[in-house]
C-alpha cells in the first residue's frame, strides 16, 4: 500500500511513501515521513494499492501536481502516525483539490490555508498543567507523615486540591513537598490537558429562541426545504441572525453540524456571546484575535466533535466539523471574504462549493448582496431568493437625506467638514441624550500634505503613493508599508514654505467636532485607535454603555453593530470610495457602505435619521442607497457591467508580476502577455504597471484576463506560468482568479 503525502513546507509537490506492513494509515492523518535526511510532518491525502509514482526521465504532471519520491525506484516508507484522529476528512481533501484547481495554486498551498497557523506542524501544543488532588478516604498501610505534612494534607483536603501552582501559593508550600506527599500516596499529582477557551471567565446568560416574525418564519421554512443555496436578502435589522440561529438549532437536532462565517471585523464579543448564549459549549470561535493557544484548542475541539457550531471569519470555511449540515455566510457581499494572499480564494464561493459537496444547507445573507450572488439568484436560478423587507423589531428604516456639499459654503469659501444641517441634527441628538455615529472612509488626520504653490504632495519613497498626515505624532505615514517621516516645512519640489494639509481624516474630524460641539463625548475608532488586542471591543462596549455620545470611525463601524440608542448616522464624504478609478466595483462598494452604515440608525424603538454629505448627489450609488433601492441599483449596475464585459458576466483574473528590477518585471509581464494572447477564448489586457506600481521596493506589473470560465482562465495560467516557476529569487508571479482587489 502507498500513501500520497503533502508536506507543509514543500508547496508545489506531493510525495509517495510506502505504508509499512502492519501500519494502518487513513486519509487525512498526520504522519511523520523521512524527507531529505530529516523527519517532517505531512498529511495523507490518498491511499492507493499501487504506487502512483512512475519513475520517468521527466517528471509527470498529474492534476497539476508533481508526483515525486526521493528514491528513484523504491519509495521510502512512512515513519509513524503522528495522530490517530485525521486532520482532514475526505470531503475536505476533495474540496481542497477543487480549490487548488480553480484558483490555480499548488495543492499543498491550498491545504496549508485550511489549517490555522497554531495548528500547523508543531507550532503550539496542548496546554498541560499539574493538578493536585487529595486521596480521601485514605487507604490503610500508608507510611506515617510528620505533623507538618499531615497538616498540609488536611489543608489540601479542605481546599479540595487544584492547580499545583495555585495550591503552592495558597498553602505556602513547594512542588517538591507536594511530590513527596504524592509519593507517600496521600495525594495525586498529575499532568492534565486544559482547554484554553476564548469564552472562559465570561458570564453568559442562556437565551431562548425568539418568536419569529412572519417574514422570518417564511425565510426559515424556505431555508429548511431548499434544494440549493439560499440568498437571504434582508434589510438591516430584519433579524437575519435569529433566522440563522434557528436554522442552526434545527441542524443540531438532526445530528449535523453548522458553520457560520462572518466578516472578521464584525466578529465582536456581541456576536460571539449571542451564539454562546443560545448554543453554550458547542460553539467554537475561530478568530485571529484569539491567542495561538486558544485557536489551537478551539480547532481541536471541533476536530474531536466537541464543538458542533463554528463561528469564524473566512478560514473557518475549512473548519473540521464531522458532519456539515449547514453553512452560513453572513454579509456575503463583504470583500473581506477574499483571501489577500495565495491562495486567493473567496470564502463565500468555497462555502457554496463545500456545502454542495457535503449536501449541506447553505445560506448567503446580506442587506446588499454582491452582484454575483444577486445574478445567481435572480437571473440564473442557481440560488433560491428569500426577501425580508421589514425590520424585526417593528421599527422603520431610517430616512436618508443627501446633502450636496457644493452648497455647504458660500462661493469662494472652503468647504467645511460639517454642513449646517448635520450640525443641527447632531446638536439636537445631544440635547435628547441620543447617540450618533459618524462615518468617514479614511483614517489619519488629512489624506495628503500638499504644496499650495506647485500642488506637489509628499509621496512614499518606497510605494509611490501619497502619504497621510497624522496629527497625534506629527508624522506623514504610508498606509501601504507603514513608512513614516516628519512633514517637511518647505516643499521638497519648489522649495517654498507653503506646505498645507488637504482634505480630512478621522483625527481632523474629531478635532473639528470638538470645536463645534465641545460638550460631545467622542469615541474615535480606526486602525490607529484600535491597534491593541482588545481595544476594538472595549471601545464598542463603552459606546454601548453610553459613555460617549458620538462614535466616529472608518469601515470598522460600518457593519453588524446594533446600538438601539443611535438615532443619527452622518456619512462624511460619501463619494470618496467612488474615486478609486481602477476599481470597477467602486459604485457597488459605495452603495453597500452607505446602506450598511445607514442601517446602524434607528435599530431600537426610536426612529433613525441618516445624513449623507457628498459632492456627487446624483450618482446612482448614492441616490439609490439613500432610498434603500437595492434592486433598482443592482439592475442599473448589472446593465453597465454587461456592456463592459465585466464580472459577473465574465470571469476576471489578475496576474501580478513583482520584482525589484523594474526592467525584468516589465519584460516578464510582456512575455506572458504574448503567450496569453495565443490562448483561445481569453481577452488579455496589455501588460502595464499596476495602480499600485511600487510596494515596499517591489515593482509591480499586471495583466488582466477576461474569459467565460474560471476553469479556462486557470488552465491558461497553468500553461503560461507553470506553478513551480512562479516564484524565483528575483520575481514573484501571483495569479488571482476572480480578483477583487485590482491594486
Ligand atoms: P440583521 O442581522 O438582519 O441586521 P439582527 O438579527 O441583528 O438583524 O436583528 C435586529 C434586531 O431585531 C435585534 O435587536 C434582534 O434582537 C431583534 N429581533 C430579531 N428577531 C426578532 C423577533 N422575531 N422578535 C423580536 N425582535 C427580534
Ligand atoms: Zn510605502
Degrees to nearest 5, angle at CA 703 with 640 and 340: 85
Shortest-distance atom of ligand 1 to CA 211:
23
Q: Is the pLDDT of residue 201 over 80?
A: no
Query: What three-state secondary structure class fits 689?
Result: strand
Answer yes or no: are the C-beta atoms of 131 and 397 closer than 8 Å.
no
Q: Is 242 in the pocket of ligand 1 (CB under 6 A)?
A: yes
- pLDDT, one tens digit per residue, over 592-606 is 988 888 888 877 777
The residue among 5, 7, 30, 29 whose CA lies nearest residue 16 is: 5
Predicted local confidence at residue 483, as pLDDT: 77
Predicted local confidence at residue 160, as pLDDT: 85
Predicted local confidence at residue 11, as pLDDT: 78
Predicted local confidence at residue 162, as pLDDT: 84
Q: Is the pLDDT of residue 315 over 50?
A: yes
In 392-460, the DSSP E strands lie at: 399-404, 435-440, 448-451
For a mutational test of ligand 1's pocket, the pick from 367, 389, 390, 392, i.e. the residue with the most ligand atoms closer than 8 A to its C-beta, is: 392
Q: Is 213 in the pocket of ligand 1 (CB under 6 A)?
A: yes
HSE value, Cβ hemisphere, 13 Å, CA-based, for 655 = 31
| Cβ count within 10 A of residue 416 | 15
Report the range of poorest mean pLDDT among 456-465, 487-496, 549-558: 456-465
Report the sign of the C-alpha dihedral through residues 4, 10, 13, 18, in that order.
negative
Residue of minimum CA distance from atom 16 in ligand 1: 239
Most confident of the following: 127-131, 472-476, 641-645: 641-645
Q: Is the pLDDT of residue 445 over 60?
A: no
Q: Is 237 in the pocket of ligand 1 (CB under 6 A)?
A: yes
- The alpha carbon of 269 and the centre of ligand 1 are apart by a number of angstroms equal to 17
Query: What three-state secondary structure class fits 364?
Result: strand
Q: Mean pLDDT across the stretch 562-590?
A: 79
In Å, the largest CA–CA distance within the chain is 101
Q: Is 234 in the pocket of ligand 1 (CB under 6 A)?
A: yes
Residue whose entry in the numeric block shows the C-alpha cell 501580478: 656
Query: What three-state secondary structure class fits 357?
Result: helix
Select the more confidently predicted residue: 112 or 534: 112
Residue partners of 713: CB distance under 8 A and separation at least 6: 104, 651, 653, 682, 705, 707, 737
Q: Is 596 in the pocket of ligand 1 (CB under 6 A)?
A: no
Q: Is 450 in the pocket of ligand 1 (CB under 6 A)?
A: no
Surface-to-core class of residue 680, CB atoms within 10 Å of its CB (0-12 exposed, 13-18 middle, 19+ buried): exposed
Select the more confidently predicted residue: 203 or 23: 23
All three cell numbers of 51, joined, read 504506487
Predicted local confidence at residue 272, as pLDDT: 83
Residue of minimum CA distance from atom 15 in ligand 1: 239
All three cell numbers of 659, joined, read 520584482
| Cβ count within 10 A of residue 546 | 13
Q: Is 239 in the pocket of ligand 1 (CB under 6 A)?
A: yes
- The alpha carbon of 214 and the centre of ligand 1 are apart by a number of angstroms equal to 13
Rounded Cα–Cα distance for residues 301 and 503 (Å): 49
Residue 2 — φ and ψ, nearest 5°? -130, 155
Report the range of poorest mean pLDDT among 121-135, 315-329, 642-656: 121-135
Rounded Cα–Cα distance for residues 45 and 89 (Å): 9
- The alpha carbon of 551 and the centre of ligand 2 are apart by a number of angstroms equal to 29
Q: Mean pLDDT across the stretch 272-279?
A: 90
Mean pLDDT score of the chain: 86
- The alpha carbon of 250 and the centre of ligand 1 are apart by a number of angstroms equal to 19
Report the range of poorest mean pLDDT among 61-70, 300-309, 446-455: 61-70
- The alpha carbon of 437 and the centre of ligand 1 are apart by a number of angstroms equal to 20
Predicted local confidence at residue 273, as pLDDT: 84
All three cell numbers of 192, joined, read 492534565
Residue of minimum CA distance from atom 4 in ligand 1: 237
Report the sign of the C-alpha dihedral through residues 231, 232, 235, 240, in that order.
negative
Predicted local confidence at residue 678, as pLDDT: 95
Residue of minimum CA distance from atom 6 in ligand 1: 239
Select the more confidently predicted residue: 454 or 147: 147
- pLDDT band of residue 68 (cuts 50, 70, 90) is very low
Q: Is the pLDDT of residue 52 over 80?
A: no
Distances (CA, A) of 584 to 76, 374, 381, 742: 52, 17, 25, 9
Rounded Cα–Cα distance for residues 662 and 465 (Å): 17
Ligand with smallest separation from the Cα of 692: 2
Q: Is the pLDDT of residue 631 over 80?
A: yes
Q: Is the pLDDT of residue 468 over 90?
A: no
Q: Is 389 in the pocket of ligand 1 (CB under 6 A)?
A: no
Q: Is 271 in the pocket of ligand 1 (CB under 6 A)?
A: no
Beta bridge partners of 735: 655
Q: Which domains does the chain have, with CATH numbers?
A: 2-87 (3.40.1440.60), 127-194 (1.10.10), 214-388 (3.40.50.300), 399-444+505-642 (3.40.50.300), 446-503 (no CATH), 651-737 (3.30.70.600)
- The alpha carbon of 309 and the centre of ligand 1 are apart by a number of angstroms equal to 20
- pLDDT band of residue 206 (cuts 50, 70, 90) is confident
Shortest-distance atom of ligand 1 to CA 234:
3
Report the range of poorest mean pLDDT among 264-268, 546-550, 671-675: 264-268
Q: Is 251 in the pocket of ligand 1 (CB under 6 A)?
A: no
Residue of minimum CA distance from atom 5 in ligand 1: 239
Query: How does DSSP assign 601-652, residue by residue?
Result: SS-SSS--EEEEEES-TTSHHHHHHHTT-HHHHHHHHHHHHHHTT-TTTSEE
Q: Is the pLDDT of residue 228 over 50?
A: yes
Q: Is 210 in the pocket of ligand 1 (CB under 6 A)?
A: yes
Rounded Cα–Cα distance for residues 367 and 388 (Å): 9
Q: Mean pLDDT across the stretch 140-167?
A: 88
Predicted local confidence at residue 465, as pLDDT: 66
Q: Mean pLDDT across the stretch 630-639?
A: 96
Predicted local confidence at residue 610, as pLDDT: 92
- The alpha carbon of 458 and the centre of ligand 2 are apart by a number of angstroms equal to 11
Most confident of the following: 46-60, 181-195, 212-226, 449-463: 212-226
For a mutational test of ligand 1's pocket, the pick from 393, 564, 601, 605, i.e. the residue with the most ligand atoms closer than 8 A to its C-beta, is: 393
Q: Is 219 in the pocket of ligand 1 (CB under 6 A)?
A: no
Q: Is 216 in the pocket of ligand 1 (CB under 6 A)?
A: yes
In percent, how much of the chain has pLDDT > 90? Answer: 50
Residue partners of 672: CB distance under 8 A and separation at least 6: 655, 657, 687, 703, 720, 721, 733
Predicted local confidence at residue 603, as pLDDT: 76
- The alpha carbon of 691 and the centre of ligand 2 are apart by a number of angstroms equal to 14
Q: Is 325 in the pocket of ligand 1 (CB under 6 A)?
A: no
Degrees to nearest 5, angle at CA 743 with 347 and 437: 70
For a mutational test of ligand 1's pocket, the pick from 215, 237, 239, i.e. the residue with the most ligand atoms closer than 8 A to its C-beta, is: 239
Residue 378 — φ and ψ, nearest 5°? -85, -40
In percent, how much of the chain has pLDDT > 70? Answer: 87
Predicted local confidence at residue 369, as pLDDT: 97
- The alpha carbon of 612 and the centre of ligand 2 are apart by a number of angstroms equal to 32
Rounded Cα–Cα distance for residues 372 and 625 (Å): 18
Q: Is 393 in the pocket of ligand 1 (CB under 6 A)?
A: yes
Q: Is 241 in the pocket of ligand 1 (CB under 6 A)?
A: yes
Q: State the DSSP code for 407.
A: G
Residue partners of 86: CB distance under 8 A and separation at least 6: 26, 27, 28, 29
All three cell numbers of 111, joined, read 491545504
- pLDDT band of residue 577 (cuts 50, 70, 90) is low
Answer yes or no: are the C-beta atoms of 432 and 423 closer than 8 Å.
no
Q: State the DSSP code for 82.
A: E
Answer yes or no: are the C-beta atoms of 451 and 494 closer than 8 Å.
yes
Answer yes or no: are the C-beta atoms of 160 and 226 closer than 8 Å.
no
Shortest-distance atom of ligand 1 to CA 330:
2
Q: Is the peptide bond before 648 cis (omega within 30 degrees of 0)?
A: yes
Q: Is the pLDDT of residue 63 over 60?
A: no
Predicted local confidence at residue 295, as pLDDT: 87
Q: Is 339 in the pocket of ligand 1 (CB under 6 A)?
A: no
- The alpha carbon of 254 and the centre of ligand 1 are apart by a number of angstroms equal to 25
Q: Is 236 in the pocket of ligand 1 (CB under 6 A)?
A: yes
Q: Mean pLDDT across the stretch 71-79?
A: 72
Residue partners of 67: CB distance under 8 A and separation at least 6: 4, 13, 14, 15, 16, 52, 53, 54, 59, 60
Predicted local confidence at residue 69, as pLDDT: 43
- pLDDT band of residue 478 (cuts 50, 70, 90) is confident
Surface-to-core class of residue 654, CB atoms within 10 Å of its CB (0-12 exposed, 13-18 middle, 19+ buried): buried
Ligand with smallest separation from the Cα of 215: 1
| Cβ count within 10 A of residue 495 | 10
Q: Is 240 in the pocket of ligand 1 (CB under 6 A)?
A: yes
- pLDDT, one tens digit per residue, over 670-711 is 999 999 999 999 999 888 888 777 888 899 999 999 999 999
Query: What three-state secondary structure class fits 715?
Result: helix
Ligand with smallest separation from the Cα of 458: 2
Q: Is 505 in the pocket of ligand 1 (CB under 6 A)?
A: no
Answer yes or no: are the C-beta atoms of 103 and 345 closer than 8 Å.
yes
In 174-323, the DSSP E strands lie at: 187-194, 230-234, 257-261, 283-285, 309-312
Answer yes or no: are the C-beta atoms of 659 and 731 closer than 8 Å.
yes
Query: How does DSSP assign 465-513, residue by residue?
Result: SB-EEETTTTEEE-TTT--EEPPPSS-TTT--S-EEEES--HHHHHHHH
Predicted local confidence at residue 416, as pLDDT: 83
Amino acid at each position: 500500500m502507498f500513501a500520497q503525502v503533502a508536506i507543509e513546507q514543500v508547496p508545489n509537490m506531493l510525495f509517495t511513501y510506502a505504508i509499512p506492513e502492519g501500519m494502518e494509515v487513513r486519509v487525512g492523518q498526520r504522519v511523520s515521513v523521512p524527507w531529505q535526511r530529516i523527519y517532517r510532518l505531512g498529511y495523507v491525502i490518498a491511499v492507493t494499492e499501487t504506487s502512483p509514482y512512475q519513475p520517468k526521465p521527466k517528471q509527470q504532471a498529474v492534476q497539476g501536481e508533481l508526483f515525486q519520491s526521493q528514491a528513484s525506484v523504491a519509495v521510502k516508507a512512512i515513519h509513524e502516525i503522528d495522530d490517530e484522529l485525521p486532520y482532514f476528512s475526505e470531503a475536505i481533501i476533495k474540496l481542497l483539490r477543487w480549490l487548488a484547481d480553480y484558483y490555480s495554486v499548488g495543492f499543498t498551498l491550498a491545504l496549508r490555508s485550511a489549517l490555522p497557523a497554531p495548528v500547523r506542524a508543531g507550532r503550539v501544543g496542548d496546554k498541560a498543567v499539574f493538578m493536585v488532588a487529595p486521596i480521601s478516604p485514605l487507604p490503610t498501610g500508608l507510611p506515617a507523615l510528620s505533623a507538618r505534612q499531615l497538616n498540609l494534607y488536611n489543608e489540601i483536603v479542605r481546599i479540595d486540591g487544584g492547580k499545583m501552582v495555585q495550591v503552592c501559593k495558597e498553602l505556602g508550600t513547594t512542588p517538591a513537598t507536594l511530590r513527596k506527599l504524592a509519593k507517600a500516596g496521600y495525594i495525586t499529582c498529575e499532568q492534565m490537558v486544559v482547554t484554553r477557551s476564548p469564552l472562559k471567565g465570561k458570564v453568559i446568560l442562556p437565551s431562548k429562541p425568539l418568536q419569529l416574525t412572519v417574514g422570518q418564519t417564511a425565510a426559515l421554512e424556505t431555508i429548511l426545504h431548499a434544494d440549493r443555496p439560499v440568498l437571504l436578502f434582508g434589510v438591516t435589522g430584519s433579524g437575519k441572525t435569529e433566522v440563522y440561529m434557528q436554522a442552526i438549532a434545527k441542524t443540531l437536532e438532526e445530528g449535523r453540524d453548522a458553520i457560520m462565517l462572518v466578516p472578521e471585523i464584525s466578529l465582536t464579543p456581541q456576536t460571539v456571546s449571542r451564539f454562546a448564549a443560545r448554543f453554550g459549549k458547542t460553539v467554537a470561535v475561530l478568530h485571529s484575535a484569539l491567542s495561538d493557544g486558544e485557536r489551537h484548542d478551539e480547532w481541536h475541539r471541533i476536530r474531536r466533535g466537541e464543538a458542533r457550531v463554528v463561528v469564524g471569519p473566512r478560514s473557518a470555511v475549512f473548519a473540521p466539523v464531522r458532519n456539515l449540515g449547514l453553512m452560513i455566510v453572513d454579509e456575503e457581499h463583504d470583500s473581506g471574504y477574499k483571501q489577500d494572499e495565495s491562495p486567493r480564494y473567496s470564502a463565500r464561493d468555497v462555502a457554496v462549493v463545500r456545502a454542495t459537496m457535503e449536501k449541506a444547507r447553505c445560506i448567503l445573507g446580506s442587506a446588499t448582496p454582491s452582484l454575483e450572488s444577486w445574478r445567481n439568484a435572480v437571473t440564473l436560478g442557481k440560488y433560491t431568493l428569500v426577501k425580508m423587507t421589514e425590520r424585526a423589531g417593528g421599527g422603520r428604516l431610517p430616512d436618508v437625506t443627501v446633502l450636496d456639499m457644493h452648497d455647504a459654503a458660500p462661493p469662494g469659501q472652503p468647504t467645511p467638514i460639517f454642513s449646517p444641517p448635520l450640525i443641527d441634527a447632531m446638536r439636537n441628538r445631544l440635547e435628547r441624550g441620543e447617540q450618533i455615529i459618524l462615518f468617514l472612509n479614511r483614517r489619519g488626520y488629512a489624506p495628503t500634505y500638499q504644496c499650495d504653490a506647485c500642488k506637489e504632495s509628499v509621496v512614499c519613497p518606497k510605494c509611490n503613493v501619497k502619504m497621510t498626515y497624522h496629527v497625534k505624532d506629527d508624522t506623514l505615514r504610508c498606509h501601504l508599508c507603514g513608512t513614516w517621516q516628519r512633514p517637511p516645512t518647505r516643499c521638497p519640489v519648489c522649495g517654498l514654505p507653503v506646505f498645507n494639509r488637504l482634505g480630512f481624516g478621522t483625527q481632523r474630524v474629531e478635532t473639528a467636532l470638538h470645536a463645534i460641539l465641545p460638550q460631545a463625548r467622542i469615541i474615535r475608532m480606526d486602525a490607529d485607535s484600535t491597534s491593541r488586542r482588545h481595544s476594538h471591543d472595549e471601545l464598542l462596549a463603552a459606546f454601548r454603555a453610553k459613555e460617549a455620545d458620538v462614535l466616529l470611525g472608518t469601515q470598522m463601524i460600518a457593519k453588524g453593530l446594533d446600538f438601539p440608542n443611535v438615532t443619527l448616522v452622518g456619512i462624511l464624504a460619501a463619494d470618496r470610495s467612488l474615486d478609486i478609478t481602477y476599481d470597477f466595483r467602486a459604485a457597488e462598494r459605495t452603495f453597500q457602505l452607505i446602506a450598511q452604515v445607514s442601517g446602524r440608525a434607528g435599530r431600537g424603538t426610536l426612529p433613525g435619521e441618516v445624513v449623507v454629505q457628498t459632492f456627487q448627489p446624483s450618482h446612482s450609488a448614492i441616490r439609490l442607497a439613500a432610498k434603500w433601492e437595492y434592486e433598482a441599483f443592482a439592475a442599473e449596475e448589472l446593465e453597465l457591467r454587461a456592456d463592459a464585459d465585466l464580472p459577473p458576466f465574465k470571469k476576471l483574473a489578475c496576474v501580478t508580476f513583482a520584482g525589484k528590477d523594474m526592467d525584468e518585471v516589465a519584460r516578464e509581464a510582456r512575455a506572458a502577455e504574448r503567450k496569453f494572447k495565443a490562448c483561445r477564448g481569453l481577452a488579455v489586457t496589455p501588460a502595464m504597471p499596476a495602480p499600485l506600481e511600487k510596494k515596499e521596493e517591489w515593482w509591480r506589473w499586471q495583466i488582466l484576463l477576461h474569459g467565460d470560465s474560471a476553469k479556462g482562465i486557470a488552465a491558461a495560467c497553468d500553461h503560461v506560468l507553470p506553478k513551480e516557476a512562479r516564484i524565483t529569487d528575483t520575481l514573484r508571479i501571483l495569479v488571482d482568479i476572480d480578483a477583487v482587489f485590482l491594486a
